Structure formats: C-alpha cells, structure tokens
Chain A
Amino acid sequence: MKRWLIWTPFVAFAAVLWVAAAELKHPADRTVRSGMVGKTLPEFTLPPSVPGKPGLDAAAFRSGEPRLLNVFASWCVPCAAEAPQLLALKRAGVRIDAIAIRDKGVDVRRFLTRFGDPYERIGDDRVSAVQLSLGSSGVPETFVIDGRGRIVAQHVGDIRADEVAGILATVRTAK
C-alpha cells in the first residue's frame, strides 16, 4: 500500500468533520417557506369559530388596507407565547384576522379569555384545508397581506418580542 493512500481516510474524515463543525455554528434555516408569498390569497370562506365574531373569507383582505392573517390553535403552546406580541401589534394599529386550526369554539373562547383577543374575525378551519392552501405547515404562522389581497410576507413560528418592530414595518410598507 502506498504511504499517502493510508492517510486518505483520515484526511477525508477530517474534511467532513470540518464542514460539519462549520455548519453547526450557523444552523440552517429549516422553516418551510410558503410558495404563496408574492401571490394573491386563494379564495376561501370559513364559518365563524366563536359566537359573536364573524367568520373569514378571502374577500375580507381586499379592503385596501394591509392586515395580518394569523394561523393559530388553542392547543398550541407557542400560540399562547405569541399572544402578547399580537396584542402589541393591535395596539400599534394593525388589524388582525385569524384562522383557528382543528379547534373547538369553546376551547378558542377560553384561549382568548385567558391570553387576550387581538382578532377582528376568526375563521374555523376544522380540517386544515385553508391552512394547507395558504402553504402553511404548522401553528402559529402569520401572513402579512396588502390591501389588494396579495401575500406580502410570511412569518413561521411564534412572533417574538424583538420581531414586532420588523413586522410593523412590513405592514406599514405594504400599504
């Protein structure tokens, strides 16, 4: 066996190790981005999720004013963590609608009483059909929609406190 040949496994291994170590330092962005960003909201009509609050359809997003569309569920723990940020956005003048995923009205009502209610309308999506058509893969997710029903941006996962300003800016520029 040639002398240098003996060292090839070691060198190859060292190379793999080096790349893997470099990759661990900045973990990949694993969020599933919707292919719908930049496109118009698909047509849908959802019945109301809780009594006293209207349901949701795509036409509601063509009012000429940018809105947030929040995909959430009462059984989702990060959604509860996200609630204060949504309330902050509402206080800043952002109008927010929601889709409740695979949820029951009573549970949603309890969730809103406990964590606050930033929503104007809540559509009831029992089988996640609308969620899937939006290209959303989990809860919570938030879409920024401009006044003509076009999806401007998607935020995957719960909105953290330090991300509120960024979303606010996106909504302002979507006008």
Chain B
Amino acid sequence: MIAEAGLAALWLAAAMALLQLAMASIGLRARRADVAVAVRPVAVVGGVLGLVSFLCLVAVFMRSDMSVLLVAENSHSAKPMLYKIAGAWGNHEGSMLLWVMVLGIAGAAIALLEKRLEERTLVATLGAQAAIALGFFAFLLLASNPFARVDPAPADGNGLNPLLQDPGLAFHPPTLYLGYVGLSVAFSFAVGALVTRDVGPAFARAMRPWVLAAWIFLTLGITAGSYWAYYELGWGGWWFWDPVENASLMPWLAATALLHSVTVLATRDGLRAWTIMLAVVAFSMSMIGTFLVRSGILTSVHAFAVDPTRGSFILALLALYIGGAMLLFALRVGTVKAGTTFELLSREGALVLNNLLLTVILGVVLIGTLYPIVAQAGGVQLSIGPPFFNKAAGPVALALMMVLVAGPLIRWRRDAWDSLASRLIVPIGAAMLTLGLLVVFARGIGVLPFAGLVVAVGVGVGSLAPLWGRNLRRTPLFTWGMVIAHLGAAVSLFGMASDSAFTKETLVAARPGQTVRSGPFEVTFTGISPAIGPNWSALEGRLVARRGADGTPFPMRPQQRFFANPPTTTNEAAIATRIDGQLYAVLGAQGQDGTWQLRIWWKPFVTLIWLGGALIALGGALSLLGRVWRAGQVERVRAKEARYG
C-alpha cells in the first residue's frame, strides 16, 4: 500500500507542476493577476506531495518490502538500518525521486520566502521551475518508476554495492543533489528574469542566496566525495579526473564564477548578460554531468545505471531546457541593458578576471571530459586522464589563486596600482620567504607542486588581509565568510601541492616479521588474521608502525573485505592521522611464494586538502547567514518606517 501511495503522490505532484506552469503562463501572458497569485500555493502543495512520495520510498526501504522491484534490486534485509535508508537514494530511480523532491521543496521555499523580487518575475521563475520539474517527473513516471512491483517477490534482495556501504557515501549524493537543485533554481531565476526582461540588482540579490547555498552543498559534496575515494578505493589518491568526478566539478566551477559575478550585479549593477549566461551554464553543467553519469556513454570506474534509453531521455531534457534557455538568451539578451561600467583596475575588473580564469578551467575540464565521446564518434577509443588535466588546468588554477590574493584588496570601481602594490607587500613577502625555504630545503619537487606551495602561502597570508586594521567584532559576517573561504582555498592548495611534492610510497612483498620503512615511519608486518563484520568477512593485515626507531608504536589494520551479496572484494585502507600528515596502508594480494603485497604511503599534510574544502564551505555558510540576516534587518527597518513613517 505504501508503494501505491507513493506513486499516487508522485503523479499528483507532477499534476501540480503542470498546473503551476499553466497558471504562470496564463498569469503572465494574459496579465491575469488573479491567476498569477495562485501560483505560490500550488508550488507549496506540489513540494509537499513530492516530499510525501519520497518518504514513502524511504518507508518501503526501511521495511525491506521485497515486492518493490527497486528494494529487491538494491537492498537486503540483513543490512544495517542506515544503509537501508541510504539505499532509497543509492540507485538511479531513488536518486531521481530525491532530485524532484528537493526541486519541489525548493519551489515551495521560493514561493513562501521570496519577498524582494518583483511579483511578475517571481511568477515567471516559478513557471520555469515547474517546467524543469515536469521533465523530470515524466522521466520518473515513464522511464524509471521507483515504485514498480515485482511478482513473485524474491525471498531477499540483491544488496547494495559494498563500495557504497559507507556512512560518508550515504550522505554524499544527497549533498551533491542539493547543490544541483540549487543551481536549477538559479537557472529558473535567470529564465524568469529573461522572460520579464527584469535583469538588475534586485534580481541578483534574490538569486544570490540560492547560488550560495548550491555552491556550499557542491563544495561539501565534492570534498566528501574526494575523501571517500581516497580512503575507500585504496589507491592513495584523492582526485582522478574521472568523468563522474568531473561531472560534479564542472557545475562547481561554473557556480563559483556565478557566485562572484552575481555579486558584481548585486552591488554594482554590472555584468548583467554575463551573469545570466553563467546561471544557464551552471545548470547546463549539472545536467550534462547527470547525462554523462547515467547514459553509459562514457566509461568510468564508478558510472552507474548504464542505460541508453535513459540516456536518450535525459538528452531530450537537455535539448529542451538548455537549448531552450540558450535560445531565449540569444533572442533576449539584446534587450538586457548594459550595466554600469568600471575601470580595468577595480574589484569588478578582478572579478571579471576571476570569471575568465574559472571559465577557462571549466572549458579545459569540459573538453577533456567530452573529447573521448567525440573521438569515439570518429571511431577512436581513447581516455583522457590526469596528465592532461593537471598540465592544462594546473597553471590556470595557480593564476586564479593569485587573482584571489589581490581581488579582495582592490576597491570597487577604480583603484591605483601603487596603493594596491603597497597592500600586497606582506603576502608577496610571505610567498618569497617560502620560495627561499623551498630552494634551500626541497629542490627537485617538480614545477607545479613547487609553485603551488609558494602561491598557497601567499594566498593564505593575503586572504587574511581584508581583516587587517578592522574592528573584528563589527566586521560583517559575509566579509568573514569571504576571508575564510579564500583561506580554505589556500589551505587546500597547500595540501594538494604538499601531497604531490613530498609523498613517499613503498610497495613491498612482505613476510610476517618483516619491517618496512616509509618516510619517517617504520612499519612491521606481524601477520594476517581473519575478521568478520555484519555482512562481510575479511583478511586483516596486522601492522605495527612507529615514527623513527624509538617512537610510540601504534597498530594499523588494513583489510581485504569480501561481501557475499553481491560478491565483491573491497580494500579497506588503514589510515593513521598525525598532525603533519597521514600514514596510509593497503593490504594487497598474496603472492605465490607466501608473501603479502603491502603498499604504504606517507602523505605529509594531505588532510589539509579536505580541511580546506570544509573551510571553503564554512565560509560560504557564514556568507549566507550574513546575507540573510542583513536582508532580514533591511526588511525590519522598512516595516518600522512603514509603521511610523
């Protein structure tokens, strides 16, 4: 019964989206204010129905109702409850339902909360959002019904891919989805503004919190995904430029550019057409990412739901939405008035440069990801990996980081070179000092890691500069947010550069009793023992590591886990975190001669990569809080004036 209720709620939610789109169109076209005014409540009802449908799906997963095909295929009654729940969205159908559910909730939130936007633009925005939702409803209901029954019901389910049975990963997809959906809201805003020809600061201020929220979730999602790949896949790396990873990185790059350009539009009324374009591009990137992951068109280590039928459906949606929006953009952008102008050396100028560099990186990643498809069309099989991306995107990213130091120190509208130079003395000095230290102590670590370390220190010091000489308690929260996010970027960069410059890797075929050196550590292999878990059994390597000959010994237990349902082997790395890095051990296969393959890495400061990511997201969150609070304050002052004025 629950499954049927969920399906019914899904159909009703789809009907609400259709109604929402129809009412918005009528309201705008026929200038019927009475019709337009009803769009808001319809959006709220639609959002609630979507939520009900999703909760029904979670319920059938929690009850392990094997008569539902999706549950039978992706769950198992012996699974821990957390993974039963996560199983609801750890598959194609469930994740699409999560997508439309969040989209609906976002629509309801706009309808309830948005007060600053002009009413007509808001109605157009909600109409655009309903149009997006409709496509995904059609996709769910016609091509991938999550509530389909199976008859006869199997005795038990197939289980969830063991690689996904990890608390981090249970929450990784929803985090990314919140980001994607946030970008779809920004997209709807852009389309709404194009429809009513109302592109200006008010529109930018209304759109900004959505972009910011989407960007925070994308940042968190990418950071968590990177850490998951690092400790779960057991290959010791944190980024592989895999198409699935790129699928989440590309929207993030576009959102980062959008975040900065929307600020120019909100504060200085510049970059109007460009901001609209970026909003369209950002959502395009999340759609293209979805398409790449789900169509099976690209080979990836963790692509799922390989299915050309679904691929065609998403491609059609892509053509409809992105093509439609770009057409609308091309037709309407001429009517968007140019905003205010500015000097080359100004905060706006720096933000334009930031946007250009981000766009270049985005272009590099997009080309690298799509090129194999184009080559495939020409009959050539190839894949593009880290060497291309690192070489092509690395230097641009470093240039971007340098702009990041200077940008926040430049005044809006116009500035002078000599006063800027005086403000940059300290960060440049710090960078030079690092350069000197590296030349003396760490020659031959490679050009990119070397430059990365120097720039990271410069940016780290420079990002704090906007706080100098300020009363810290009266500094607005969004300034704090910017400072912390920029500092996070520097911290991340330092971690990445340090990891590629100083990592020590040791690969040995070891016998019990043997001791291996890795960086400053000595690791003794004492033996292998079996281990057992809730739904896996494992071979566990027993290691004792110590720093130097007389350091305190600590145990490490890398495992090879065997899952029965479905039969899979995973590598559980043992990771020991120290203040200056991580010791990372993986147990490999047993050789013919009875030795065991051991792979041990010492990775100095590698944790800074994810700490930086967390700082970036924290900065975003502070900014968002600051903006929302400030907006509320303006609202309160206005209300007061209205009462007494």
Contact = CB atoms under 8 A, between A and B. Distances in A.
B377 interface: yes
A39 interface: no
B373 A17 contact: no
B374 interface: yes
A57 to B, nearest CB: 14
A129 B333 contact: no
A24 B295 contact: yes
Contacts of A13: 284, 322-323, 326
B311 interface: yes
Contacts of B590: 127
SS of A interface (majority): helix
Contacts of B374: 19
Contact of A17 (B297, B315, B333, B567): B315
Contacts of A10: 323, 326-327, 329-330
A6 B281 contact: no
A19 B379 CA distance: 12
Interface in B280-321: 280-281, 284, 288, 291, 295-297, 299, 306, 308, 311-312, 315, 318-319
Looking at A16, A20, A28, A129, which has the most chain B CB atoms within 10 Å of its CB? A20
Which residue, B329, B564, B567, has most C-beta atoms of chain A within 10 A? B567
B384 interface: no
Given A27-B296, A28-B299, A75-B567, A20 B330 contact: no
B291, B323, B333, B377 — most chain A CB neighbours (10 Å): B377
Interface in B241-300: 273, 277, 280-281, 284, 288, 291, 295-297, 299
Contacts of A9: 277, 280-281, 326, 329-330
A22 B377 contact: yes
A19 B377 CA distance: 7
Size bin of chain B's contact surface: 35 or more
Contacts of B592: 129
Interface string A123-143: 000010100000000000000
B552 interface: no
A136 B370 CA distance: 28
Contacts of B281: 9
A20 B291 contact: yes
B373 A23 contact: yes
A86 B306 CA distance: 28
A160 interface: no
A53 interface: no
Contacts, number: 72
Given A14-B323, A27-B297, A20 B315 contact: yes
Interface string B549-564: 0000000000000101
Nearest to B374: A19
Contacts of B381: 28
Contacts of A75: 564, 567
Contacts of A6: 329-330, 333-334
A78 B334 CA distance: 58
A1 B273 CA distance: 10
B377 A23 contact: yes
B508 interface: no
A17 B318 contact: yes
Contact of A23 (B284, B288, B376): B376
B442 interface: no
A31 to B, nearest CB: 10
Contacts of B373: 19-20, 23
A57 B596 CA distance: 24
A28 B372 CA distance: 11
Interface in A97-132: 102, 127, 129
A10 B324 CA distance: 9
Nearest to A6: B330
Contacts of B112: none
Contact of B297 (A1, A7, A20, A76): A20
B160 to A, nearest CB: 17
A21 interface: yes
Nearest to B591: A129
Contacts of A20: 291, 295, 297, 315, 373
B589 interface: yes
A55 to B, nearest CB: 16
Contacts of A91: none
Nearest to B273: A1
Contacts of B333: 1, 6
Interface string B19-53: 00000000000000000000000000000000000
A125 to B, nearest CB: 12
Contact of A24 (B297, B326, B329, B589): B297
A131 to B, nearest CB: 12
Which of A7, A14, A27, A76 has the largest number of chain B CB atoms within 10 A? A27
A96 B277 CA distance: 62
B311 to A, nearest CB: 5
Given A9-B281, A9-B329, A17-B319, A24 B299 contact: no
Given A9-B329, A127-B590, A102 B567 contact: yes
A74 to B, nearest CB: 10
A21 B323 CA distance: 14
A24 B312 contact: yes
Contacts of B296: 27, 30
A20 to B, nearest CB: 6
A9 B590 CA distance: 54
A27 B376 CA distance: 10
A27 B309 CA distance: 11
A174 to B, nearest CB: 26
Contacts of B273: 1
A24 B315 contact: yes
Nearest to B284: A13
Given A9-B277, A17-B323, A24 B330 contact: no
Contact of A30 (B299, B334, B562): B299
A43 to B, nearest CB: 11
Contacts of A102: 562, 567, 569
A6 B273 CA distance: 10
Given A9-B326, A9-B329, A23 B297 contact: yes
A127 B381 CA distance: 31
A1 to B, nearest CB: 7
A21 B315 contact: yes
Contacts of B562: 102
A127 B280 CA distance: 50
Interface in A123-171: 127, 129
A56 to B, nearest CB: 16
A62 to B, nearest CB: 21
A23 B590 CA distance: 42
A14 B327 CA distance: 11
Given A102-B569, A129-B592, 14 more contacts: A9-B277, A13-B284, A13-B322, A13-B323, A13-B326, A20-B291, A20-B295, A23-B377, A24-B308, A27-B297, A28-B297, A30-B306, A102-B567, A127-B590
Closest 4 pairs between A and B when the two form their complex, measured CB to CB: A10-B326, A75-B567, A6-B330, A24-B311
20 contacts: A1-B333, A9-B280, A9-B329, A10-B329, A13-B323, A17-B323, A19-B373, A20-B373, A21-B312, A23-B376, A24-B308, A27-B308, A28-B297, A28-B381, A30-B299, A76-B567, A102-B569, A127-B589, A127-B590, A129-B592
